[in-house]
Each structure stands twice: as structure tokens, then as C-alpha cells.
Amino acid sequence: MLFSNLIGKNNLKEQILALYNGNRVPHALLFNGNEGSGAFQLALSLTQLLLCSNPSNSDSCGVCSSCLKVQKMMHPDLHFSFPIQLSQTNKITTSDDLLEGFIEMMLEFPFFSKELWAEKMGNKNKQGIIGTKESQQIIKKLSLKSYEGGAKILLMWLPEEMNQQGANKLLKLIEEPPEKTHFIFVSEKKEQLLPTIQSRLQTIDVPDFSELEINQYLIENLNVLKEQAEIASSISFGNMSKAIQYLNNENNPDVYLSLFINWMRLCYTRNIADTIDWVDATSKEGREQIKGLLLYTLEMFRKCILGHYSVEVKGVSKEQASFLKKFSPFVNHKNIVQFSEVINDAHFHMERNANPKILMLDVSILFFRLLKTDKK
């Protein structure tokens, strides 16, 4: 991937290129950014630059044999590592066992997500890990000479999913790597990395995309209609993956709207039995779906408040506008702060593996009360 093909991130591109042109690229580098922030794409652009046979001061050439191999994710000196769902039944123990599927996903969905990868592995509710056997395989690969005589690169996605035994095995290799060997890590939660690993990495923090950047990318790169692009970018919260996921849902373009409407109606009527049934059904959709619903709910509440002050609300579909017109009186200046605190707190705990059924039922019961708050 070329740096020039990635929208935005100009300051980071300049920072990375300054390191490259000054021959100061660290042998162990961490790109840290939220899902869909473009952190993986920046790491891949640097990878292609390091392996390019004819680079310039501003980018890889994009046309040499090395660049073409990287673009196909097939360069012999580029090694991928990523979380996997371990299975003794299917004898899945390292990334290599699922590499073909991972490459397919990267090529088809450049802004892929943990949720998409979990689905591709067959169980969207099972967490993947990077274990001891993976570390042993990495050590073995990087001990060999470069196939093409240049750099060797390990590109690890989500190093925070390494268990302690696996991480400990890599410490010495990261600290004293073979010549021309680069470790490029891409994390979404660097605070969950083991301190012994994080202390050996130079970190580049990648900010989320702006709503304008997502809107521009969808229109220019995916030929999305302006109205649809505005809706997708407004509910994505800087996450390019979520924006594209929204647009790819052909059966229900607004993937969260029906969930949101049903949830709010249940909370307003305080129907505890049906709410429990809704929570049970929704929890089966997986953690990422619930996190997305929480953020979507927060955005819908924000649109309600903006509507009260006659502010033009962009990025709203006809279906959303129809429901919000009836629902907005129940979200007001008296309860919006509490709503925001409840949702943000729930999202925080979902990120830390809280039980989704218990969490969503607790949130629903709090909503029972908040939706009855008198705005006067």
C-alpha cells in the first residue's frame, strides 16, 4: 500500500518518512489506534516502503516486484502474526494455519476489524489469542536469512492479545533482533500490552479519521452516494470499518436502527419480561455488535438534542428522521448528561469483557427511569 493512497494522516506520514529518510526507523515500532483508524494501513505502507526496490523520499514505487508482492500480501520476507481461535480439533495452533483466510480478508476488506476476523474464523463470540507456539514460529522464521536479501519484517496485528508466555519468548528477539529485521506491531489498546513488550517499542499514536475524511473516502474510493456517505460517516465515530460495514449491510442498510427502536420502546414501556428477551437475543450477536449499538444510541441521543435547538442535523436517513421526530421529546437537557454517562460507562465495561447480558439489562433498567424524566 502506498502512503499516497491513504486518506489524511499527513502529519504522521511526514513523521514516518522523516524517520525513513534519516535512516532512523526503529527496529521495533508500534502503531496504536482505534479500530478503523488506519493504523494497520500506515503500518502496511511503511512495510512496503522498507521492502521496495526503488523507493523515493516520499513513498514506495508501487510497481517493482517487491511492492507488487506486498500488495498481494505474498512477499517471502513479510511475515504476519495475528490472534487465532485455538482449536485442537482442527489442529489450529499458529497464524500460518489460518494465513490464507487472513490474506483473503485483508485484500477484500482493507479496513477489516476484529469482529470480521472472528466471524471468518467461525465464532464471533470467541476471543483469539497469540500464544506460545506462535512465538516459537516467529523466532524460527526470523532466524532464517532474508529470501530476497533485504529486510525481514514481522507485522503483528493486535499484540495485546499475546499471552504472557508467548510475549516472554519474544522479548530477547525484540531486544536483540537479527540484522535488517523489523518488528511492526499494530494495536488497538496499547495499555493492554504487557509492559515488558511495550517498553521495547517506539509508539506512533494514530488518531481516528474525521467525519469529513470518512465521507470523502466513501465517495471517492467506493463510489457511495453523498446522502449514504453522510449517514455512514456520521454514525461511525471516526471508525472507517464501521462506516463500510454499515454500507455493506444490504438487507438492512441501517444495521442498528431496528435494534435501537425496539430497545427504546421496551425501555419506555418498562416491559421487563420482553426487555430480558431482547437482551438475550441481542447478546447473541456478539460484543462488537453491542458496542456498535451503544455508540449508535449515543449518536441518536445527540441528534435529538441538536433537533431541540433547531440545529440542522446532517447524516439522517428518512427512517431515522421519522422515529427521532417522535422520540426526541424524551431526550432533553435534564437527562442527556445521565444518558451519556450510562452509555459511555457501559461501552467502557464492554471493552473490558463485561458480561453482555448483565450489562445491557442494567443499562435498560436505568433507561426505564431516564426516559420518564420531565424536561420542564
Q: What is the pLDDT, as a whole number, of residue 318? A: 82
pLDDT (mean) for 29-47: 96
> Distance (Å, rounded) from C-alpha 48 to C-alpha 59?
9
- How many other CB atoms are found less than 10 A from the CB of residue 375? 11
Higher confidence at residue 254 or residue 39? 39
Question: How much is the CA Rg of the chain, to the nearest whole Å?
Answer: 23
pLDDT (mean) for 65-87: 93
> Distance (Å, rounded) from C-alpha 85 to C-alpha 93?
8
Residue 9, burial from CB neighbour count under 10 angstroms (0-12, 13-18, 19+) = buried
* Residue type (1 letter), 324: L
pLDDT (mean) for 294-306: 88
Q: What is the pLDDT, as a whole number, of residue 254? A: 67
Set of cell numbers at residue 174: 525484540
Interval 135-156: pLDDT, tens:
999 999 999 999 988 899 999 9
Interval 6-31: pLDDT, tens:
999 999 999 999 999 999 999 999 99
- How many other CB atoms are found less than 10 A from the CB of residue 220? 11
Answer yes or no: is pLDDT of 253 > 60.
Answer: no
pLDDT (mean) for 74-80: 96
Q: What is the pLDDT, as a whole number, of residue 219? A: 93
> Distance (Å, rounded) from C-alpha 151 to C-alpha 122?
34
Set of cell numbers at residue 233: 460517516
SS3 string of the chain? CCHHHCCCCHHHHHHHHHHHHCCCCCCEEEEEECCCCCHHHHHHHHHHHHHCCCCCCCCCCCCCHHHHHHHCCCCCCEEEECCECCECCCCECCHHHHHHHHHHHHHHCCCCCHHHHHHHHCCCCCCCEECHHHHHHHHHHHHCCCCCCCCEEEEEECHHHECHHHHHHHHHHHHCCCCCEEEEEEECCHHHCCHHHHCCCEEEEECCCCHHHHHHHHHHHHCCCHHHHHHHHHCCCCCHHHHHHHHHCCCCCCCCHHHHHHHHHHHHHCCHHHHHHHHHHHHCCCHHHHHHHHHHHHHHHHHHHHHHCCCCCCCCCHHHHHHHHHHHHHCCCCCHHHHHHHHHHHHHHHHCCCCHHHHHHHHHHHHHHHCCCCCC
Interval 349-376: pLDDT, tens:
887 778 999 999 999 999 999 998 765 5
Q: What is the pLDDT, as a whole number, of residue 376? A: 55
Q: What is the pLDDT, as a whole number, of residue 251? A: 45
Q: Could you tell me which of 70, 61, 68, 59 has the C-alpha nearest to residue 10?
A: 59
Query: By mean pLDDT, which of 142-151, 188-197, 252-261, 333-342 is the weakest?
Result: 252-261
Q: What is the pLDDT, as a whole number, of residue 208? A: 95
pLDDT (mean) for 57-86: 94
Q: What is the pLDDT, as a whole number, of residue 40? A: 97
* Band of residue 250 on the pLDDT scale cut at 50, 70, 90: very low
Answer yes or no: is pLDDT of 80 > 90.
Answer: yes
Set of cell numbers at residue 303: 441528534
Pairing of strands 78-81, 181-187: unpaired
Share of the chain above pLDDT 90, in %: 63
* Band of residue 228 on the pLDDT scale cut at 50, 70, 90: confident
Q: What is the pLDDT, as a whole number, of residue 88? A: 61
Q: What is the pLDDT, as a whole number, of residue 89? A: 67
* Band of residue 213 on the pLDDT scale cut at 50, 70, 90: very high
Q: What is the pLDDT, as a whole number, of residue 90? A: 66
Cα dihedral across residues 191, 194, 195, 196: positive or negative: negative
Cβ proximity of 83 and 158 under 8 Å:
yes
